[in-house]
Amino acid sequence: MHALDALAFVLETQPELGSTGRVIFLRAQPHAVLERFQGRLTCEQTWKPRAVALEAAGLPVTRDATGSYDLVLLLPERQRETILADIARAHELLAEGGTLVVALHNDWGAKRTEQQLAEIAGQVQSVSKHHSRVFWAVKNGAWDAAKLADWKAAAALRRILDGRFWSCPGLFHWDEVDAGSRLLTEHLPATLSGAAADLGCGWGFLGDHLLRHCPNLRSLDCYEADAVALECARRNLGLIPCPVRPRMLWRDVTAGLGSSLYDVIVMNPPFHDGRDADPMLGLKFITVAAQSLRTGGDLWLVANRHLPYENLMGQAFEHTSLVVEAVGFKVLHGARPAAVTQMHRRRRGR
C-alpha cells in the first residue's frame, strides 16, 4: 500500500493533475482520493480480488481499457518487464498533451524506473513519499517510440517450451514448468473421471495434462484470478484434440466456487500474497475444494514440503494420503469430503 499512499499524496498536493478530462488508473486499487475523478475515471485491473474491491467501492472496472485519456495513473507490479511494458501501454492510452503518473515502491526499482522514463520522455517530475517514488511526464512527440515498442514487446504473450504453450513475463514460472506441477502430473491417475476443476490454473499446464491424459473426464473448469494467465490458459487448452471444451473462469478461488460441484479437483495452490508468504492461501484453497467436491470426490494437490496442509486435509476428508515427497514438494490426495464439510456447503447454499 506504500506506493498507493504516495500516489494519493501527490494527487492531493498537485491538484492540477487530472483537473479536467478523462482519467484511467492502470492496475488500480481503491482509495478515497479517487473520488475527485468521479464520472471521469476508469479503473483497469486484471487481478480478480482487486477488481472486486474496486467494484465494491463503486468504481467502474474493466480488464482491457481502450480509448484516449488525459491522465493515466499507473501502479505497477514488481516484475521488471511488466513495469516497463505498463509504461509503454500507458503511453498508448495517453492523449497528446496528457500526463502519465507512475507510483512505485523504492524496493521495486522506483529510482531506476524514473530514470528510464526520463530517458524516453524528457522532463520528469517526482516526489518521494512512503518509501516510494511518484513520477510523472507529459506526452509529446519527443517520446522514444522505438524504446517504447521494445518495452511492450518484452512483456508480450509469446510461445514457450518449443512453442507448445503460450505465456508471458510476470506469470508464475512463466517460461518453464515448475517442479511441483510436474511432480503432480507424474502421479495423477489416468482413470480420473467426471467433472474436473483446476483451481488457480495459471497458464494451463495442469489442465493440459488432464485433457491429454484423462480420457474419462466429462468437463473441465479452470479457475484463475489473473486474467492474463487465464488468457494464456484459454489459448493453451482451447485447441487440444479431445471431446472436452474447458471453461475459463476469472474467479477468486478463496471466495468460493458458488454452486458448482466436481468429481475431481487438482491444484498447485499459491502461498504468496504479493511479496509475502501466506500459508493461509493454500488452506483456503483446500477448504473451498473440499466444499466443492461431490460426496465421493477427490482432491489432488501439490505443495512445498514445508507447508502445513496435512492437518486440514485430515479434517476435510475421510481419507488422506501423502502420495510422494520429492524435489522439495509433496503430493497430497484427499478422498471423500468429510460430513462436516458437506454440511457447511449446504448451509452456504441456502
Instruction: Indicate whether 126 and 162 sit together in one domain.
Output: no
CATH at residue 253: 3.40.50.150
Give the cell for residue 58: 463503486
Instruction: Indicate whether 262 and 136 sit together in one domain.
Output: no
pLDDT at 1: 72
Question: Exposure pattern of 190-228 as b/e (b: 16+ CB <10 Å)?
Answer: eebebbbbbbbbbbbbbbbbbbeebeebeebbbbbbbbb
pLDDT at 343: 53
Which amino acid is present at 215? P
Q: 277, 267, 276: which is closest to 299 by C-alpha?
A: 267
Instruction: Indicate whether 189 and 170 sit together in one domain.
Output: yes
**Which is more confident, 186 or 1?**
186
Which residues have a Cβ under 8 Å from the Cβ of 129 and sit 6 or more positions away? 5, 6, 9, 10
The number of domains in the chain is 2
| Tens digit of each residue's pLDDT (9 = 90 or more) over 28-84 | 999 999 999 999 999 999 999 999 999 999 999 999 999 999 999 999 998 899 999
Instruction: Indicate whether 136 and 163 sit together in one domain.
Output: no
Instruction: Indicate whether 127 and 241 sit together in one domain.
Output: no
Instruction: Indicate whether 112 and 197 sit together in one domain.
Output: no
Rg (CA), the chain: 22
Domain that holds residue 7: 2-154
Instruction: Indicate whether 166 and 141 sit together in one domain.
Output: no
Residue 134 pLDDT more than 70? yes
At which residue does the C-alpha cell 507447508 appear?
A: 307
Contact 282, 269 (CB under 8 A): yes
Q: Whole-angstrom distance between the N-terminal and C-terminal Cα of the chain?
A: 36
Q: What is the mean pLDDT of residues 139-157?
A: 94
Instruction: Indicate whether 252 and 168 sit together in one domain.
Output: yes
Position 142 confidence tier, pLDDT thresholds 50, 70, 90: confident
Asked which of 115, 133, 154 is the last residue of a domain, the reply is 154
Residue 344 pLDDT more than 70? no
Instruction: Indicate whether 91 and 203 sit together in one domain.
Output: no
Q: What is the mean pLDDT of residues 259-282?
A: 82
Q: How many CB atoms lie within 10 A of CB 34?
A: 23
Residue 306 pLDDT more than 80? yes
